[in-house]
Amino acid sequence: MARLELVSRDLRAMDLGGQRVDYVLARRRGRRGVGMKVDESGLTVSAPASMPAARIEDLVRQSQAWVLRKILEWSARQVPRVEWTDGALLPYLGTTLILRTGHGARARVERHADDLHVCTPTGNGEDVRRAVVAWYRRMAQGHLKDRAAALATAAGLAQPRVFISSALARWGSCNSKREVRLAWRLMKAPPEMVDYVVCHELAHLRHMDHSPAFWAEVERQCPDSRALRARLFATDHLYRSF
């Protein structure tokens, strides 16, 4: 069977049943129809290179019930609930931070050793959550971009453009423009699992598919990739708690 040539691979979003669904659109020269796959990375849609995007999304909507059911199944693993009160425990790069709440004229978050001090004008749980999420995003801007730069250099790759995303069902993505997107929620995972996700996306800079050559490149960059992928699959719900 002839190998289908990948033309582009881009992260897109569409409305399904009233909810936003992020998906990867992989266009392949020589492909005849549209195929869909839902796994731990979310929805991937494979389509002919020349098919209009509107037609592709119409076909996805025809399978809306199946897509939403599969996404729900992947998301059904119990996500721990966070109580945004003093003493709550927050995962952070393989450690646990203890939330310390207080009042202040404006929202402020500071880390002191294993304590994360959060001051808000109201002390309201939702305001505390927003302040904590903003802090995680700031930390992700530095840490995830630094790891992507270091690991790209180690792999002999030109530096990609790195963006921080708010994706809930997808830890990372890479498109044909050499843009890598990494979810800020990765900051809750242990460092070695973060590096696995980064290496996975960097491997797409050489192979924009999930062929054997791609997985060989992942393993070259991250020798423990198989074990780390299994760990991430088994525990990723723990990092979606907020």
Phi-psi region of 156 (alpha: psi -120 to 50; beta: other; left: phi over 0): left
Q: Domain ends where: 40, 75, 110?
A: 75
Under 8 Å between Cβ of 241 and 189: no
Q: Which residue has the tokens 């921080």?
A: 164
Q: Domain ends where: 75, 106, 124?
A: 75
Instruction: Say whether both 125 and 173 belong to one domain.
Output: yes
Instruction: Say whether both 177 and 214 belong to one domain.
Output: yes
- How many helices (H) does the chain have, and how many strands (E)? 6, 11
The CATH number of residue 103's host domain is 3.30.2010.10
- Which pLDDT value is given to residue 128? 95
Using one digit for the tens of pLDDT, what is the confidence trace for 96-133? 999 999 998 888 999 999 999 999 999 889 999 999 99
Under 8 Å between Cβ of 187 and 144: yes
Q: What is the strand order of the sheet 115-120 is part of? A: 89-92, 95-103, 115-120, 108-112
Tokens of 28: 């392949």
Tokens of 35: 């195929």
Instruction: Say whether both 129 and 234 belong to one domain.
Output: yes
Using one digit for the tens of pLDDT, what is the confidence trace for 40-62? 678 999 999 999 999 999 999 99
For residue 83, is it within any domain?
Answer: no
**Could you give phi then psi for residue 183, rounded to 5 degrees?**
-75, 135
Instruction: Say whether both 225 and 167 belong to one domain.
Output: yes
Instruction: Say whether both 128 and 220 belong to one domain.
Output: yes
For residue 213, is it within any domain?
Answer: yes
Using one digit for the tens of pLDDT, what is the confidence trace for 13-30? 899 988 888 898 999 988
Instruction: Say whether both 39 and 98 belong to one domain.
Output: no
Instruction: Say whether both 39 and 11 belong to one domain.
Output: yes
Instruction: Say whether both 26 and 95 belong to one domain.
Output: no
Residue 76 has pLDDT above 80, yes or no: no
Instruction: Say whether both 141 and 182 belong to one domain.
Output: yes
Q: Average pLDDT for residues 175-192, to the nearest whole number? A: 94
Residue 2 has pLDDT above 60, yes or no: no
Instruction: Say whether both 95 and 65 belong to one domain.
Output: no
Instruction: Say whether both 211 and 173 belong to one domain.
Output: yes
Q: What is the strand order of the sheet 19-29 is part of? A: 5-16, 19-29, 42-48, 35-39
Could you count the other beta carbons within 10 Å of the beta carbon of residue 166?
11
- Give me the domain span that covers residue 189: 89-240
Tally of domains within the chain: 2
For residue 142, is it within any domain?
Answer: yes
Q: Which residue has the tokens 């002390």?
A: 123
Give the C-alpha distances (Å, rounded to integers) separating 235 from 66, 89, 106, 229.
24, 17, 35, 10
Q: Maximum distance among all alpha carbons in the chain?
A: 66
- By CB atoms closer than 10 A (0-12, 13-18, 19+), residue 29 is exposed
Instruction: Say whether both 156 and 62 belong to one domain.
Output: no
For residue 81, is it within any domain?
Answer: no
